[in-house]
Structure 1
Amino acid sequence: MPNERLRNGMLKKGLTPATLADKLGVDPKTVERWVTQSRNPYPRYRHSIAELLDESESYLWPDALPTQRAVQVSQSEVVHIYPRRGAVPTDLWQQLLEKATRQIGVLVYGGLFLPEFNHRWVPTLREKALAGAQVELLFGDPDGKHIAERGDDEGIGHAMSSKILNALAFYKDLRDLANVGIYYHDTILYNSIYRFDDEMLVNTHLYGTPAAYAPVLHLRRIGGGELFDNYVASFKQVLGKKRAVWPEH
């Protein structure tokens, strides 16, 4: 039976079997078989296709890896686990940002610590956007119900909304850039996500505990793994509920 997930992913990206084959360096008939006969490509092609379609390998080819093998690969995606955000090396945030060339995504409530303590953070984001990287920044809606609840949980009340507005003041110079999207969200944030191409820092959230004192996972995407792509999918879910911070831009 046809691989409808692959077909639909190609359609969304405006790719035909011929154009995808050209990008991968394979015969167009091979791509046709992947689509119409649901044949699984070799691992190196699966990874490249997933990147091109911005989908996970496990979504496009759910039966490509045995379950146990998929679990092992996903475990290998964990580079390091930090017991709290403060334990993350201060230069790691900037290092990951400087290496990124394609996709930079930040999902937080406020994330004030990044521009406040790293004067290169926002200028580097600007440089990356001008060089062609897609930058998507999602902040908690200061007037949203979930922001109010989080403020109450942490015992800081309206200070949570103030932290968000303070953080946004650092990013105002990015609002006119074509490759930068700066948005509000009003969702329950189970994790703060900081994505840099195929690497990611995930700051887990604990009830009643500031994010600075919660664990952080450093992940690196591996073909066939599920962990990294699951967080990407979560990011996209929130992105689907966004509203622009500065609608006129």
Structure 2
Amino acid sequence: MANERLREAMLKVGLSTYELAERIDVNPKTAERWVTLDRAPYPRHRHAIAALVQEREAYLWPKVVSPERATRIAESELVHVYPRRAAIPLDIWGRLIDQATEEIGILVYAGLFLPEQVPSIIRDLTTKAQAGVRVRLLLGDPKSQAVAARGAEEGIGDAMAGKVHNVLAFYNQLCGVEGIFARFHGTTLYNSIYRFDNELLVNTHAYGFPAAHAPVLHLRRLSAGELFDTYADSFDRVWSSGHPIWGPTVAA
């Protein structure tokens, strides 16, 4: 059976089997077997190939990582654990936004703290979008059952829907900025997720506690890892279920 994922990744970057062999410094027949027979390269070659075709090792060769190694990789993807969101230094938010070159994503019910604690965020997101960064904002639909339930669980009732309206007063300033997209969602959030290219801040949710008092995982993607992608995929699933806040324009 051929490795269609590798074949497709090579096609996307315009790399032939012969050119791959030349770049990796192996026999062309060896490279051919990687593609046509789904032979797994040595680890050092997998690293190099993944970099060349701009894909993750775990995607190109999903069967080669043992459970034990997968656990070690997941531990390496975990940069830091904050006991509560309030423990995150404010400069972390600024650094992550500033360093993003491809994608910024915010998945919350309201997340009102962010524009309050980072007053420059509207200007920063505008600047990033103008530089070609895709910005996606996902807010809880204030009319949804999920937002009502979260408000009840935190003991603040309808105030959760009010927070969504409050944060919209900030984000509505971004309406019409090319490259910035905003959607409402009505899903149950087990985590709030903040994405900055290949780094994530995952604010866990604990029943009866506001998000500010729950732990946060700082993750950084590794090519052979799965932990980062679990949360990144979760973000995308919620995005696909949402509906535009400002109009019919949607992200590609």
Q: TM-score range by the shorter chain?
A: 0.7 to 0.9
Shift of 1:86: 0.5
Q: Which residue of 2 aligns with 1:69?
A: 69
Shift of 1:248: 5.1
Question: Normalization by structure 1: what TM-score?
Answer: 0.86
Q: Which residue of 2 aligns with 1:17?
A: 11
Cα distance in 1 for residues equivalent to 2:167 and 2:178:
21
Query: What are the superposed Cα offsets for residues 178-229 of structure 1, whole Å, 9 maximum, x if unpaired?
Result: 2111011110100000011111111000011100000001111112111111
Q: Which of residues 19, 22, 26 in structure 1 aligns to 2:20?
A: 26
Equivalent AA in structure 2 for residue 184 of structure 1: F
Query: What are the superposed Cα offsets for residues 82-104 of structure 1, whole Å, 9 maximum, x if unpaired?
Result: 10001111111111110111011
Consecutive unaligned residues of structure 2, counting only runs of 5 or more, are 23-27
Shift of 1:171: 1.2
Cα distance in 1 for residues equivalent to 2:31 and 2:203:
39
Q: Is the 8 A contact 2:47 2:57 kept in 1?
A: no
Cα distance in 1 for residues equivalent to 2:247 and 2:177:
13
Residues 39 and 178 of structure 1, relative CA distance in 2, 3 Å threshold: farther
Q: Which of residues 27, 30, 48 in structure 2 aligns to 1:44?
A: 48
Residues 31 and 117 of structure 1, relative CA distance in 2, 3 Å threshold: farther
Equivalent AA in structure 2 for residue 198 of structure 1: N
Q: Is the 8 A contact 2:13 2:53 kept in 1?
A: no
- Which stretch has the larger CA shift, 64-73 or 219-228? 64-73
Q: Which residue of 2 aligns with 1:166?
A: 166
Question: Normalization by structure 2: what TM-score?
Answer: 0.85
Q: Which residue of 1 aligns with 2:148?
A: 148
Q: Which residue of 2 aligns with 1:176?
A: 176
Task: Count residues with an aligned counterpart.
Answer: 237
Q: Do residues 211 (structure 1) and 237 (structure 2) align?
A: no
Residues 60 and 239 of structure 1, relative CA distance in 2, 3 Å threshold: farther
Cα distance in 1 for residues equivalent to 2:152 and 2:200:
28
Q: Is the 8 A contact 1:108 1:140 kept in 2?
A: yes
Q: Secondary structure at the match of 1:240?
A: helix
Percent identity reads: 49
1:230-241 counterparts in 2 under 5 A? 230-241=230-241
Shift of 1:33: 5.6
Q: Which residue of 1 aligns with 2:132?
A: 132
Cα distance in 2 for residues equivalent to 1:36 and 1:106:
40
Cα distance in 1 for residues equivalent to 2:50 and 2:238:
26
Shift of 1:43: 1.6
Q: Is the 8 A contact 2:10 2:53 kept in 1?
A: no
Equivalent AA in structure 2 for residue 193 of structure 1: I
Q: Which residue of 2 aligns with 1:111?
A: 111
- Which stretch has the larger CA shift, 99-108 or 25-34? 25-34
Q: Is the 8 A contact 1:206 1:214 kept in 2?
A: yes
Q: Secondary structure at the match of 1:209?
A: coil
Q: Is the 8 A contact 2:108 2:139 kept in 1?
A: yes
Q: Is the 8 A contact 1:47 1:224 kept in 2?
A: no
Q: Secondary structure at the match of 1:26?
A: helix
Equivalent AA in structure 2 for residue 127 of structure 1: T
Consecutive unaligned residues of structure 1, counting only runs of 5 or more, are none
Shift of 1:18: 6.5
Cα distance in 2 for residues equivalent to 1:128 and 1:32:
41
Q: Is the 8 A contact 2:137 2:182 kept in 1?
A: yes
Query: What are the superposed Cα offsets for residues 107-153 of structure 1, whole Å, 9 maximum, x if unpaired?
Result: 10001101112111121111110000111110101001111100111
Aligned CA-pair RMSD: 2.3
Cα distance in 2 for residues equivalent to 1:18 and 1:235:
25
